[in-house]
Structure 1
Amino acid sequence: MKTLVLIGMLLAAAGLHAQTHTEKITKEFTFEKKSADNALMIANINGSIKVEGYTGDKILVEVTKTIYAKTQARLEKGKEKIQLGVIDRADSIILYAEGECNKFGRKTNRGGKNQRGWGYSWENNDRSCNEEYDYRLDFFVKVPASINIDVSTINNGDVSVQQVSGVVIANNINGSIKLQNLVREAVASTINGDVDIDYSTNPKKDCRFYSLNGDINAQFRKGLGANLSFESFNGNFFTNIDKLETMPVQIEKSNNGEGIRYKINGNRYQAGAGGALLDFETFNGNVYLKEKVN
């Protein structure tokens, strides 16, 4: 009896997505206005993001779009509704997932006024919007190495950025983040996954690295000069830096409208002669900070 039940469950799972469609989307962009502030933003929802810097001056985009559905009719609807969205701002390019139950644009506050930054608004907050299919967009993008990068995804994918000499911001929810050959300041944050950081030139400006359920592995060049901050609930801090001095406790005062709050951080250190702040925070994970020998 148990065997029959198991077989039934397997057959039911196999039939969840009876139809699949996969296609490649390729795009090519150049900045109309070239400057040191040129930036690429990728705001994904389901799928991975991989960005590589190179010596060319064009943004070369390849997106693998995959739709899963139980019927052909639902598959056709997904093929129509899920598209690669593009916003060209002359000095910046924004790529996003254009879907049935979400809209992408300028963030707004409750008063309807535009705020700085871009993001999604979800049309299914009242549960009235129902996507009858599943989908993912997997990005592979080659960019001019000197531009700034801001990339994010939510489900079913990791984020990877390498060989980019500009500022890098990377966010994820259910996946890892890997940033390689960094030169300038960076911010990386994920909920469920590791954060791997590798610097080819030590940063001169503040950086922040965060994982709720994962480790942070950060590698810097020998002779790192920085101020370090570490905070964790269930994690520890490990490093191979010889010259590390404890810094005084820092007390941060804030007012969020519900009264004044104080945050105390006693895990502060100075590496070498000090310098930019490298802020590491986890909840269920360790931080491994290493100076590379070579």
Structure 2
Amino acid sequence: MKQLIFMASLSMLMTLPGLHAQKKEFREMIKKEIAFSNQSDHTLIVKNVFGDITVEGYDGTQVVVEVEKIISAKNQADLDLGKQELNLGIIEKVNQIVLYPDAPYADFDGENLRFNWCNNHDEPAYGHILNFKIKVPNKIHVNVSTVNDGEVTVKNTRGDVVRAENINGGITLTDITGTTKVHCINGDVNISYAANPKNASTYYSLNGDITISYQKALSASISFKSMNGELYTDFDVNRQFMKTDKTMEKGNKPKYRFEAKPVVQIGSGLVDHDFETLNGNVFIKKM
């Protein structure tokens, strides 16, 4: 019996050092208010890598930015390095505001953000997250993306364009307007429109469902491609399994071009909407 008690006590002592090996963490809230230099045709671009992006339209004129900066590391030295190296990058142009993580291992050319630690730097010794929460004038154009540990959310915007990308997380666009370009790898896409898009829009999710709620007066040609998914809708449809363009060759011989994706027509088919999944269904709903 004494031997068993001794072994149990030794086991507890062996686990004690692990209690002191917890990661250290630093949190900071960064707040900015940014004004556009002109009064029309504004675009907000957010290129994130680790963390959430939430954009909400409102009746104001300023872009109100709150970014939660979270650094984690195994020791204080690495934590201090992360606090120093990771910052909020801001580029202000005449009608464009760009927000991105500014760090030695991140290359940003004004449009594309790439990590260069594979070539020029070791992987950082600390973990890092930037969670963006932004209020924007509601007629702004939106272009946002993140990669890991975050969701992309846009709501209550009335701009002409919404672009949203996420690699490991979902995309939710609520009560929006405008031409829509969505690209999601591992997550679901959920969208509701205050007014249906007037121009061609594309929706892609590799591993996840796409659920769209349109206004009742939808006039669209819906193309759909999936390896393991189905298309469902509660709109009345005119089904066309091959959409063709007819041109004339010499000698008045007709020539046809067949599209790779089947097309479902809703209403008069005025606007093209392109849907693609690999492992996910598409649900097109009537609001």
TM class, shorter-length = 0.7 to 0.9
Deviation at 1:263, TM superposition (A): 8.7
Q: For this pair of structures, how many residues does the alignment match?
A: 266
Is residue 54 of structure 2 the alignment partner of residue 50 of structure 1?
yes
SS of alignment partner, residue 84 of structure 2: helix
**Distance in 2 of aligned mates of 1:234 and 1:223:** 30
Q: Is the 8 A contact 1:250 1:266 kept in 2?
A: no
What residue is the counterpart of 1:85 in the other structure?
89
Question: Aligned in 2, Cα 1:234/1:155: closer, same or farther, shift over 3 Å?
Answer: same
Is residue 110 of structure 2 the alignment partner of residue 101 of structure 1?
no
What residue is the counterpart of 2:185 in the other structure?
191
**Distance in 2 of aligned mates of 1:212 and 1:288:** 15
For 1:58-85, what per-residue CA distance to the aligned partner results, in whole angstroms no more than 9, with x for missing partners? Answer: 0000000000000011100000001000
For 1:84-120, what per-residue CA distance to the aligned partner results, in whole angstroms no more than 9, with x for missing partners? Answer: 00000121100000123112124xxxxxxxxxxx112
Question: Aligned in 2, Cα 1:177/1:15: closer, same or farther, shift over 3 Å?
Answer: farther
SS of alignment partner, residue 109 of structure 2: strand
Q: Is the 8 A contact 2:105 2:121 kept in 1?
A: no
**Distance in 2 of aligned mates of 1:267 and 1:286:** 15
Q: Which runs of 5+ in 2 are unaligned?
A: 1-6, 246-256
Identical columns (%): 38
Deviation at 1:266, TM superposition (A): 3.8
Question: Aligned in 2, Cα 1:99/1:202: closer, same or farther, shift over 3 Å?
Answer: same
Deviation at 1:9, TM superposition (A): 9.7
Which letter maps to 2:139?
A: S
Deviation at 1:243, TM superposition (A): 3.2
What residue is the counterpart of 1:125 in the other structure?
118
Question: Aligned in 2, Cα 1:277/1:159: closer, same or farther, shift over 3 Å?
Answer: same
What residue is the counterpart of 1:148 in the other structure?
141
Return the TM-score normalized by structure 2. Answer: 0.86
Return the TM-score normalized by structure 1. Answer: 0.84
Which letter maps to 1:98?
A: D
Is residue 269 of structure 2 the alignment partner of residue 274 of structure 1?
yes
What residue is the counterpart of 2:222 in the other structure?
228
Deviation at 1:283, TM superposition (A): 0.3
Question: Aligned in 2, Cα 1:285/1:9: closer, same or farther, shift over 3 Å?
Answer: farther
SS of alignment partner, residue 141 of structure 1: strand
Deviation at 1:177, TM superposition (A): 0.2
Question: Aligned in 2, Cα 1:125/1:34: closer, same or farther, shift over 3 Å?
Answer: same
Deviation at 1:16, TM superposition (A): 6.6
Which letter maps to 1:143?
A: V
**Distance in 1 of aligned mates of 2:98 and 2:241:** 41
Q: Is the 8 A contact 2:242 2:258 kept in 1?
A: no
Deviates more, 1:123-132 or 1:82-91: 123-132
Question: Aligned in 2, Cα 1:10/1:206: closer, same or farther, shift over 3 Å?
Answer: farther
Deviation at 1:132, TM superposition (A): 0.4
Question: Aligned in 2, Cα 1:276/1:9: closer, same or farther, shift over 3 Å?
Answer: farther
For 1:144-182, what per-residue CA distance to the aligned partner results, in whole angstroms no more than 9, with x for missing partners? Answer: 000100000000000000011111100010000000112
Task: Please give the residue correspondences for 1:115-264 in structure 2 after superposition, counting only pairs within 5 Å.
Answer: 118-126=111-119, 128-166=121-159, 167-246=161-240, 248-249=242-243, 264=259
Q: Is the 8 A contact 1:16 1:69 kept in 2?
A: no
What residue is the counterpart of 1:26 in the other structure?
31
